[in-house]
Amino acid sequence: MLKKIVIPIASIVFFSACNQPKSADTTKADMLQSNIDTTINPADDFFEFANGHWIKNNPIPASETSWGIAHLVGEELYQRKLKINQDATTAAPKNGTQQQLSDFWTTAMDSTKIEKDGIAPLQEELAKINAAKTPADIMNAAAHLHAIGVGVFFGEGVGQDAKNSEVMSYQLAQGGLGMPNRDYYFNTDERTVKVRNEYPNFISKILRLSGVDSSSATNKAVAVLALETKMAKASRKLEALRDPYANYNKMGMAQLKTTAPGIDWNMVFTGIGLPKIDTVIVGQPEFYKELGQLIAHEPIQNLKDYMTFHLVNDYAPYMSQSFVQAKFDFYNKTIRGAKEMRARWKRVLDAEEAAIGEVLGQLFVKEYFNEKAKARYSDMTEAVRKAYKGRIEKLTWMSDSTKQKALAKLAAISKKVGYPDKWKDFSSLKIDRSSYVSNMMHANNWWNNYSINKLGKPVDRTEWDMTPQTYNAYYNPSNNEIVLPAGQFTVPGFRDEELDDALVYGYAAASTIGHEITHGFDDEGRQFDAKGNLKNWWSKEDENQFTKRSAVLVKQFNNIVAVDTIHINGKSSLGENLADLGGILIGLDAFKQTDAYKKGQKIAGYTPLQRFFLGYSLGWLYQIRPEQLASQILTDVHAPAKFRVNGPFPNVPEFYEAFNVKPNNKMYLADSLRVRLW
């Protein structure tokens, strides 16, 4: 829950095969040079300078809400995964994994059968909701929906206890909303209002497709929105969710009953499939107080309509075209600005990834990832760790005692590279050819039980929360670990050995490795100790210095207008912005130790230092639709791509040197206004 995932557009990690800085293939254009817009002064707008030419020549496809380097990698991953599925389908005889992939793929691609089935695969579940007559029935039905992956009314799950990372705990959080987050219910800017006005029409459409008559569907939709608005009002804002202490409220069952009266929690937990539990960690108690009120006092029919809508909405992507289209029109078109749907086979691969991604991953790494890449990545991580150590030792604002603890935490960060040593066992998951919906339902239920099964057992620190083919990475504070899946090694169009060190250090060492390590010391991660426990190891004065110095970055980002008149939220994006800035600084320190930097040879007209900054910016080669931008500001703790370049760079002294940035340039920041933290 607390980990910082680089979404939705992570940087790629890849390695040069050796320390030779020169491109091996002289017939290929230089990757960095060919993206540059030479009409832009890098000292005025570095992002547009570094990426502008590519952006002009690569418009966003109609099916996408943004387009950039992650998508180019994604296209390659799609082809690889397609082949794995096709091979499994034609294999004879099939082993267990091939049977699962083959049945999943064949059923999901059979659009004729899916059209013919219509609402039928959900009929049994709809009947369960319809049978509810009392608030207790409602919560019973809600518990069952949670067990099949439909998060009605609230959020829940099993995770490490933030204050005792050796223990798995059951946790409750705010949730249950149909729009992306609570701000969509209240913000008054034009884009949000448009989405909010469209939402009841969408709810009504889903209800009608589910069999509700048109005359009552409209009123029911209005009631569902009203219900969700009450839940949204009791929900915390994005930035308030960043305080790990305020979102940690451990309580016994008696206290939970007082916190959210009107709900029989023992019954709910049994329905979800939990063993008997004594304590629960509640993220936002005030949300649960409001929920208790709603369940006790709302008309039962409203609660049933709300559950019907959420069930069908969650399973719509696996149903007939009218359901798929309705869902696409609201979430992808209205909210995020896409023009048309992705091809069916790609949508199926996305669903398969969520359901049984690790099954796919075992085959993926066998074919596409080797030990050599794993070793290179590990070495680069150590170089970055060493650079950070050097920085911490030299800090003038941090006391010696806090420094010792910071260094111990840094040394203790564990790294996971490529793919897990131990795979999850999916053999008990039933995948057959009855329906796409039932396969997804079985998978959701499998995941529910898999996670519940961790309660009362020792924490498995070897576990991965991402599949190896994922194009992403994360830092997990409870394990004090960084996790980098093999998918990050995929580079479209280039082999590792064709990439010079300057590019790679900007691209991988700074924007991914350094970024993830710095998360261990950002505004949230720094509150966890070397063992992964939420426990203060900072002196008061050091803490004050950290807050004062990082407040400079909050202010810088608050001043940035991302789209229309919408500013970036400096507080909710602080952790990511600190990780970006820290990543650049330590990635650069590590780069300075390489021969490529020391020799200073230009490649394609640019010095090693210049190519480091260009390489970093390549990781943020994106363009984004305005609808998607507006949505990202409300829901994502990451700043939009452009500002992950133009935001941190003015705080980096070497940037001024590399591109001759002077006081009259737009990227210039007076010395007194720069962030001085790491």
- 169 membership: H or E segment, kind and range: strand 164-173
* Residue 95, C-beta contacts closer than 8 angstroms, at least 6 positions apart: none
Query: 131-135, long-range: CB within 8 Å, 24+ apart, which pairs?
Result: 132/300, 132/303, 132/304, 133/300, 134/300, 135/262, 135/263, 135/295, 135/296, 135/300, 135/303
Q: Name the strands in the sheet holding 279-282, side by side, starting at the edge strand that comes first in the sequence.
A: 155-161, 164-173, 279-282, 249-252
Nearer to Zn ion, 517 or 667 (CB): 517
Q: Does 579 bind Zn ion (CB under 5 A)?
A: yes
Q: Does 81 bind Zn ion (CB under 5 A)?
A: no
How many residues sit in the footprint of Zn ion (CB under 5 A)?
A: 4
Q: Which residue number is nearest to Zn ion in terms of Cβ?
A: 4
Tell me the closest approach of the beta carbon of residue 516 to Zn ion, in angstroms. 7
Nearer to Zn ion, 333 or 571 (CB): 571
Distance, CA of 449 to CA of 457 (rounded, Å)? 14
Burial status of residue 250 (CB atoms within 10 A of its CB: 0-12, 13-18, 19 or more): middle
Q: Does 342 bind Zn ion (CB under 5 A)?
A: no
Query: Residue 562's closest CA among 470, 634, 513?
Result: 634
Residue type, 649: F
Nearer to Zn ion, 4 or 416 (CB): 4
* DSSP of 583-652: HHHHHHHHHTTSHHHHH---BTTB-HHHHHHHHHHHTT-EEE-HHHHHHHHHH-SSPPHHHHHHTTGGG-
In 241-373, at which residue ranges do the beta strands (DSSP E only) sit? Answer: 249-252, 279-282
SS3 125: helix
- 165 membership: H or E segment, kind and range: strand 164-173
Choose one: 125-133, 304-312, 531-539, 573-581; the region binding Zn ion (CB under 5 A). 573-581
Tell me the closest approach of the beta carbon of residue 591 to Zn ion, in angstroms. 20
Q: Pattern 595-614, binding to Zn ion, x per CB under 5 A? A: --------------------
Structure tokens at 440: 């997804």
Choose one: 86-94, 305-313, 420-428, 570-578; the region binding Zn ion (CB under 5 A). 570-578
Choice from 4, 310, 409, 611 touching Zn ion (CB under 5 A): 4
Tell me the closest approach of the beta carbon of residue 635 to Zn ion, in angstroms. 15
Tell me the closest approach of the beta carbon of residue 4 to Zn ion, in angstroms. 4
Distance, CA of 439 to CA of 318 (rounded, Å)? 9
Choose one: 1-9, 143-151, 342-350, 364-372; the region binding Zn ion (CB under 5 A). 1-9
Choose one: 105-113, 146-154, 177-185, 571-579; the region binding Zn ion (CB under 5 A). 571-579
Nearer to Zn ion, 259 or 572 (CB): 572
Nearer to Zn ion, 376 or 638 (CB): 638
Tell me the closest approach of the beta carbon of residue 621 to Zn ion, in angstroms. 18
Choose one: 154-162, 576-584, 597-605, 664-672; the region binding Zn ion (CB under 5 A). 576-584
Nearer to Zn ion, 6 or 502 (CB): 6
Nearer to Zn ion, 512 or 594 (CB): 512
Nearer to Zn ion, 465 or 541 (CB): 465
Choose one: 2-10, 272-280, 365-373, 413-421; the region binding Zn ion (CB under 5 A). 2-10
Tell me the closest approach of the beta carbon of residue 475 to Zn ion, in angstroms. 7
- 481 membership: H or E segment, kind and range: strand 481-485
Tell me the closest approach of the beta carbon of residue 579 to Zn ion, in angstroms. 5
Q: Which ranges of 338-434 does DSSP label H, i.e. alpha helix?
A: 344-368, 371-394, 400-412
Site residues, Zn ion (CB under 5 A): 4, 6, 576, 579
